[in-house]
Structure 1
Amino acid sequence: MKDIRDAILSGDRSEGTYAGLTIPDTYRAVTVHKDEVGMFEGMATKEKDPRKSLHLDDVPVPELAPGEALIAVMASAINYNTVWTSIFEPVSTFGFLERYGRTSEFAKRHDLPYHVVGSDLAGVVLRTGPGVTKWKPGQEVVAHCLSVELEDAEGHNDTMLDPQQRIWGFETNFGGLAELAIVKSNQLMPKPGHLTWEEAASPGLVNSTAYRQLISKNGAAMKLGDRVLIWGASGGLGSYATQMALSGGATPICVVSSPEKAQICRDMGAELIIDRSAEGYRFWNDENTAQDPREWQRLGKKIRELTGGHDVDIVFEHPGRETFGASVYVARKGGTIVTCASTSGYMHEYDNRYLWMNLKRIISSHFANYREAWEANELVNRGLIHPTLSKTYSMDEVGQAALDVHRNAHQGKVGVLTLAPEAGLGVTKAEMRASLLPQIDRFRNA
């Protein structure tokens, strides 16, 4: 592995150099173990500690299948699906791996007693499997996390509708929180040259997810002038939605949970901000068995105070159970609630009168198709959207990094160095970087 790292750090990107490197038999990877699935049984979600379930192991290098690429991973990032995997909620990911393993001879490799996690990476191509023509050893890449088989007609117009659609590193094995990773070659995209390894690794999942959810015709199809309520606007997902709203001529109304997070939104250029901690909203009563519509009304009144009397055209939803009733209520008549996750709970409840009588729409959105992921990466590559990296951990600190995300004790995205020996490496477009540095460092300086 040292030879691989040294070749990357040398700056040499010639195909011959990387094709000639020896691939080791094993590599270091962050894993969860199948025999520990029951370790948190009986505990409340918030009490489950990823530091106990995430391990740093030496694991065998799998054989490459046709259409795949082996990547030397310089950096990765923590997403909420890593948290879900680590606490075995809502279900153990080993069920995903078992089902995938039954589909083909090559898929059998994924059904193992350990799961290498992680759905982001930035690194260098080391090897490609049979049939790969676009990518060569030595190329710098990032990866999106959509894994599909492309054998079913249902997915040919929108790859997210493929019956065999999976999220790499969550519903498949050999993810990005490791020194090496295996991806399908159609997951690869060019690494933005003005970013470091850890910066480049951080946008992939959340940037693509926000793009489909907010911008794409498959999501809310945001347009110039729209007013957009963004929950968790300084977080891993919301921070990209906020940037997209601002860049696309919309007006974000940013919901955050502290003055510090409010300031980050102001630094991004947002002006309309709701600090939940200051407002003290309690959408559910103490028993968590019924919602309080008066709190929905209070949120709606606050939004209209900020917007000059207007309700929002779009609600960018991802907290789920805690906020969904309020989200349905505050959208304007004919407005859209677009949801991609349920970090506070999956069983959503809302008053259907406010949906049906006011002709509102609920749209589901999940990650992004190939084209959407590529377009989202191009926004980063062109310097129109910026990474929101706030802190970088080493591989042996991944448990703590995941705990920070689990407890919402982070800003933006949390990165992880894998093969990179230190932060700040990997920039090839220094002049472009210098012109964008205030935006790139915005979350680090928070």
Structure 2
Amino acid sequence: MTLAEAVVAGAGPAELASLEVPTRYRALYLRKDEVGMFGDMSDKDVRKSLHVGEVPMPELAPDEVLVAVMASAINFNTIWSAMFEPIPTFAFLERFGRTDPRHDLPTHVLGSDAAGVVVRTGQAVRHWRAGDRVVTSPAYLDGQDPIVQHDGMLAADLRAWGFETNFGGLAEFAVVKATQLLPKPRQLSWEEAACNMLCASTAYRMLVGERGARMKQGDVVLLWGASGGLGAYGVQLVRNGGGIPVGVVSSPEKAALLRRMGCEHVVDRSRFDDLTDEKGWRGLGAEIRRQVGEDPAIVFEHTGRDTFGASVYVAKKGGKVVTCGSSSGYDHAYDNRHLWMRLKQIIGSHGANYQECHEVNRLISLGMIHPTLSRVYPLAEAADAARAVQLNQHVGKVGVLTLAPGPDLGIEDPAHRDRIGEDRLRLFRS
């Protein structure tokens, strides 16, 4: 029996420890010799640059863990990587390779989410052992950096795992720092558990954490892409915290999904011709006030160029725009008068530290935050999964089965699952 087969069969710690680690494993990866392949193409179809095949197994560092990955998920950083934009991620690996040569390879294994089973631990790892069922958080950093004791996201060598490092989660095995691991929520299947941590923890830091917008009860919160990976977790956090979510979506179908989530106020952005000029901004602001009676205290931003001017405009006097990304472009334009003269704030937010990830995982384990998984692909079709996200043909999160032989496996606490309800847990798949 191979190590992968033993994991799938549910082998115990002793048996897992007795089996050899394979020298190669299957993964979704990029090739360094294909950087620049898209040239000036307008459609950089990620199916052309993403490959599924065998890659070499790395050695473990003392503070690292080898996880047999049962399921993973597609995040937008995988799309950026596969488009080689804004810079090829091999530049990250080359830089990292100056201090850790293992990562500077002709292949880049992607993926910043995973759920699986610990199969090996480095000699400095204390809190995890073979057989533990885990989910991963995405911050890969040096725990000996003093600033980590204050906020890990300020670490000098902070890297997004599976984006700025090699050996990510879209694979049969993954290498992670021990400080990335959290217990798998027992009521969830492998694919449900694998889809949460990057987006849910990012949204938590943006809205709830001490370094974000610090939402309070009664705050009106405008959320762009509210039925997507980030936005759907944001909606849940706003509702749980006593805020008033106003979700922005692009179709009536997505609006209906939000209302099933309990988001009463929904704006269909397709009704507005142009959100890059003040006429469009005024129309959006009027629609928000029509629905809730006031301007947003917080705007939840991650789309960037296409929406940022509108976000700054519609935030109320003294309000906050919190941003963690720019999926429509990094070169934002906005009218600064609406920022300084109305005393607004722009807050940059990136990922989440280990404590914030722990808090989010606890909420998920309690059933207070539910997965936003909408569709699942096998690893062999992971490039198609990424293409669906690239074209925004999805809602919520798109999952990828890696070692798990099928969906709906790995549930350890069916009674807790029943208390939460399948209608909540499978809402995005309905």
Cα-to-partner distance string for 1:177-200 (whole Å, 9 max, x where unaligned): 000000001100000010000000
Cα-to-partner distance string for 1:294-349 (whole Å, 9 max, x where unaligned): 110110000000012x0010000000000000000000000000000000000111
Distance (Å, rounded) in 2 between the aligned partners of 1:48 and 1:230: 28
Distance (Å, rounded) in 1 between the aligned partners of 2:88 and 2:196: 26
Cα-to-partner distance string for 1:353-411 (whole Å, 9 max, x where unaligned): 00000000000000001110111111111110000000000111111111111111001
Mark the runs of 5 or more structure 2 residues left unpaired by the alignment: none
Distance (Å, rounded) in 2 between the aligned partners of 1:433 and 1:395: 26
2:253 is aligned with 1:282: no
The SS at the match of 2:242 is coil
Are the counterparts in 1 of residues 69 and 173 from structure 2 also a CA contact under 8 Å? yes
2:263 is aligned with 1:264: no
Are the counterparts in 1 of residues 185 and 365 from structure 2 also a CA contact under 8 Å? yes
Aligned to 2:149: 156
Q: Give the alignment partner of residue 56 of structure 1, picking from 39, 42, 52.
A: 52
Q: Give the alignment partner of residue 290 of structure 2, picking from 289, 300, 305.
A: 305
1:432: how far off?
1.0
Aligned to 1:170: 163
Aligned to 2:363: 379
Distance (Å, rounded) in 1 between the aligned partners of 2:163 and 2:400: 17
Aligned to 1:87: 83
Are the counterparts in 1 of residues 272 and 284 from structure 2 also a CA contact under 8 Å? no
The aligned amino acid for 2:166 is N
The SS at the match of 2:69 is strand
Q: Give the alignment partner of residue 21 of structure 2, picking from 3, 18, 23.
A: 23
1:4: how far off?
3.0
Are the counterparts in 1 of residues 3 and 22 from structure 2 also a CA contact under 8 Å? no
CA RMSD of aligned residues (A): 1.0
The SS at the match of 1:443 is helix
Distance (Å, rounded) in 2 between the aligned partners of 1:10 and 1:84: 35
The 5-angstrom pairing of residues 233-382 of structure 1 reads 233-277=226-270, 279-284=271-276, 292-308=277-293, 310-382=294-366
1:18: how far off?
1.5
Are the counterparts in 2 of residues 281 and 295 from structure 1 also a CA contact under 8 Å? yes
Cα-to-partner distance string for 1:191-228 (whole Å, 9 max, x where unaligned): 00100000000001001100001111111111111100
The SS at the match of 1:22 is coil
Distance (Å, rounded) in 2 between the aligned partners of 1:155 and 1:62: 26
1:23: how far off?
1.1
Aligned to 1:41: 39
Distance (Å, rounded) in 2 between the aligned partners of 1:428 and 1:68: 26
1:156: how far off?
2.7
1:264: how far off?
1.0
Aligned to 1:406: 390
Distance (Å, rounded) in 2 between the aligned partners of 1:325 and 1:212: 23
The aligned amino acid for 1:418 is T
Aligned to 1:390: 374
2:404 is aligned with 1:420: yes
Distance (Å, rounded) in 1 between the aligned partners of 2:95 and 2:45: 27
The SS at the match of 1:174 is coil
Aligned to 1:188: 181
Mark the runs of 5 or more structure 1 residues left unpaired by the alignment: 285-291
Cα-to-partner distance string for 1:115-174 (whole Å, 9 max, x where unaligned): 000001000000001111100000000000100013333333000000100000000000
Equivalences, count: 429
Cα-to-partner distance string for 1:223-280 (whole Å, 9 max, x where unaligned): 1111000000000000000010111110000000011110111011010000112x13
Distance (Å, rounded) in 2 between the aligned partners of 1:183 and 1:15: 19
Are the counterparts in 2 of residues 320 and 345 from structure 1 also a CA contact under 8 Å? yes
The aligned amino acid for 2:424 is Q
1:60: how far off?
1.2
2:10 is aligned with 1:11: yes
The aligned amino acid for 1:67 is D
2:211 is aligned with 1:215: no
Percent of residue pairs bearing the same amino acid type: 55
Distance (Å, rounded) in 2 between the aligned partners of 1:364 and 1:140: 33
The aligned amino acid for 2:250 is S
Aligned to 2:416: 432
Distance (Å, rounded) in 1 between the aligned partners of 2:267 and 2:80: 28
The SS at the match of 1:24 is coil
Are the counterparts in 1 of residues 8 and 403 from structure 2 also a CA contact under 8 Å? no
The aligned amino acid for 1:327 is S
The aligned amino acid for 1:281 is D
Distance (Å, rounded) in 2 between the aligned partners of 1:56 and 1:25: 17
Distance (Å, rounded) in 2 between the aligned partners of 1:252 and 1:225: 10
The aligned amino acid for 2:186 is G
The aligned amino acid for 1:364 is G
Q: TM-score, normalised by structure 1?
A: 0.95
The SS at the match of 1:39 is coil
Distance (Å, rounded) in 2 between the aligned partners of 1:432 and 1:11: 21
2:53 is aligned with 1:69: no
Are the counterparts in 2 of residues 69 and 185 from structure 1 also a CA contact under 8 Å? yes
1:8: how far off?
3.0
Distance (Å, rounded) in 1 between the aligned partners of 2:241 and 2:3: 41
The SS at the match of 2:281 is helix
Are the counterparts in 2 of residues 5 and 420 from structure 1 also a CA contact under 8 Å? no
